[in-house]
Structure 1
Amino acid sequence: MKWHEVAIHTVEENEEKLSIFLNTISKGVSVEHSIDILKQKVDNFDEKFRLDPKDYPESNIRLVVYFDETQDIDGRIKDIKEYLTQTDLVNKEEIEIDRKIIEESDWENEWKKYFHSFRVSDTFVIVPSWEMEDYSYEESDRLIKLDPGMAFGTGDHPTTSMCLKFIESTVKPEHNIIDVGTGSGILSIASHLMGARSIKATDIDELSIKVAYDNFMINDCEEDIILETADLLKNEDGRYDIVIANILAHIIEEMISNSYDKLNTNGYFIASGIIVEKRDDIVNKMTEAGFKINEILEDGGWVSILAEKV
């Protein structure tokens, strides 16, 4: 299969708005920051990453999305250009759009150019499978082996890293967990590494299901995770100790009531993918539903919430 890669070059200030829009017309967005930006965001950057500057934007950021050959690529490009025209963005006149075709057989090498091991929390480390033999890790590290499929990120987005921090501090082996909108399956894998063995991962997209299963196999956890196609919690009849959802604010909003109903008493709702402007609305709706807000994390204009059913 052939894939159309569409890359938008812009300044970092436009990342939030463009990410939200691109997620509505594609299955996922990869945000690539220039090396200079990455160094500003990560302590001891040179010790944690082995990156080739040639594989990254020379300056600012690049947002990349992929569309398979069955989709109307000209229509998608038109949608993007219309959004750029109609939206209040910084340095709009300097935004550039590039497109190219990638053969699926070339996809693995494309990822290997710039996806390298990195630490995402105190103990979670994301390692591409092709670096496992060379990666030197601490005894306490929990390694998430990841081969991101087409149109899926590498776990370095703030919404994912904040979820992983909540999972690290919250998940216990005895917990019954559902990961809604699992995508690459990274949050289910993390829960498994915390000792949980009763996990369900769901997604409405069949490509997500395939990619998640492949990653579960790589991490030797496929036997402990039920993987199903589902639309959020609408037809879910199970009861859970933790509901995890790293999606978007308006979808999180739809899930609040159902999440409360599906949780056991003192169960947790880990919600991410929320832009900072929507934080108060989501918090208020969670509180109205009966949740207690235990902790809120914020990073790069994104918010993650740990709420408890009390």
Structure 2
Amino acid sequence: MKWQEVSISTKEENEEQFSIFLNTIAKGVSIEHSVDILKSKTDNFEEKFRLDPKDYPDSDIRILVYFDETYNIDEQINKIREFIEETPLANKEEIEIKTGIIDEMDWENEWKKYFHNFKVGRNFLIVPSWEYADVEIADSDKVIKIDPGMAFGTGDHATTSLCLTFLEDVIKPSDKVIDVGTGSGILAIGAYLLGARNIKATDIDELSLQVSKENFALNDCGEDITVMPADLLKEETENYDVVVANILAHIIGDMIDDAYKLLNDNGRFIASGIIVEKRDEIITHMKAAGFSITDVLEEDGWVAILALKVT
């Protein structure tokens, strides 16, 4: 399969608005920050990342949007241009749109250019499989080997790293866990490395399910993670101790009540992918459903919420 890539170069302050919109029309969205931006936001940057500046935008950000070959690319670009015209964005006259074609066979090589090992949370070490043999691993490191493929979720985005941090806080070996919208499977793998052995990973996208299975096999945890297609929690009938979802705020809103019903007493709901502007709205909805808000983490304009089911 060939994928149609749309590249949008813009100011960093436009990231949240573009992310929300593009996730409603695209098969996948990836955001590349300039090295200067990454350095400004990351403590001990040189220890965590090994990057070639030539592979990154010279300044600001580049948003890469992917459509499979069944899409009419001209229609999608028109939607993007209409969004830009109708939305208050910074320096919109400087926004640049480019298009290209990527063969699925070339995807792995593209990721090898941009994706390198780094640490996240307290003890997680994210390692692309092609670097594993060359990485120094400390005794305390919980290593997640990952090949993103055409599914998204590498751990470097704030929303994923915040979820992993919360998982470190709450997971117990006895927990039954569901990762909703698993993507590349990174959160389910994180739960496994923290001791959980009864895990379900779901996604509405078949490609994500395929990639997650491959990553579970890569991390030797496939036998303990059930993978299945699902639309959020709408058809779910089992009960869980932990529900984790790294999706967008309006989708989190659609699953709050179902999460409360499906959680066992004192179960925990970890929700991420929420922009700061939506934080209070989501918290209000969670409290109305019966949750007690345990903790809220914020990074780079994104929010993750840890909520407890109280009865």
Using the size of structure 2 for normalisation, the TM-score is: 0.98
Corresponding residue number in structure 2 for 1:15: 15
Q: Deviations over 1:241-281 (max 9, x none)?
A: 00111111111111111111100000000011111111111
Deviation for aligned residue 1:150: 1.6
C-alpha contact 1:3 1:103 (8 A) present in aligned 2: yes
Q: For 1:167 and 1:26, how far apart are their aligned partners in 2? A: 28
C-alpha contact 1:65 1:151 (8 A) present in aligned 2: no
Corresponding residue number in structure 1 for 2:269: 269
Does 1:77 pair with 2:77? Answer: yes
The runs of at least 4 aligned residues of structure 1 exceeding 3 Å deviation read none
Q: For 2:47 and 2:119, how far apart are their aligned partners in 1? A: 11
| Other structure's SS at 1:266 match | strand
Q: For 1:154 and 1:265, how far apart are their aligned partners in 2? A: 31
Q: For 1:125 and 1:99, how far apart are their aligned partners in 2? A: 34
Corresponding residue number in structure 1 for 2:116: 116
Q: For 1:96 and 1:205, how far apart are their aligned partners in 2? A: 29
C-alpha contact 2:203 2:231 (8 A) present in aligned 1: yes
Does 1:290 pair with 2:280? Answer: no
Q: For 1:268 and 1:28, how far apart are their aligned partners in 2? A: 28
Corresponding residue number in structure 2 for 1:164: 164
Q: For 1:151 and 1:93, how far apart are their aligned partners in 2? A: 31
Q: For 1:50 and 1:234, how far apart are their aligned partners in 2? A: 41
Corresponding residue number in structure 2 for 1:302: 302
C-alpha contact 2:151 2:211 (8 A) present in aligned 1: no
Q: For 1:214 and 1:223, how far apart are their aligned partners in 2? A: 12
Q: For 1:259 and 1:48, how far apart are their aligned partners in 2? A: 35
| Other structure's SS at 2:254 match | helix
| Other structure's SS at 2:221 match | coil
| Other structure's SS at 1:67 match | strand
| Other structure's SS at 1:132 match | helix
The count of aligned residue pairs is 310
Corresponding residue number in structure 1 for 2:243: 243
Corresponding residue number in structure 2 for 1:195: 195
Q: For 1:151 and 1:88, how far apart are their aligned partners in 2? A: 30
Deviation for aligned residue 1:97: 0.6
C-alpha contact 1:27 1:152 (8 A) present in aligned 2: no
Q: For 2:34 and 2:8, how far apart are their aligned partners in 1? A: 13
C-alpha contact 2:4 2:99 (8 A) present in aligned 1: yes
C-alpha contact 1:27 1:151 (8 A) present in aligned 2: no
Deviation for aligned residue 1:286: 0.7
C-alpha contact 2:153 2:186 (8 A) present in aligned 1: no
| Other structure's SS at 1:126 match | strand
Q: For 2:171 and 2:283, how far apart are their aligned partners in 1? A: 22
Deviation for aligned residue 1:197: 0.4
C-alpha contact 1:287 1:293 (8 A) present in aligned 2: yes
Structure 2 residues without counterparts, runs of 5 or longer: none
State the AA in 1 paired with 2:246: N
Deviation for aligned residue 1:4: 1.0
Q: Deviations over 1:93-132 (max 9, x none)?
A: 0000111111111111111011000111110111000000
Percent identity reads 65
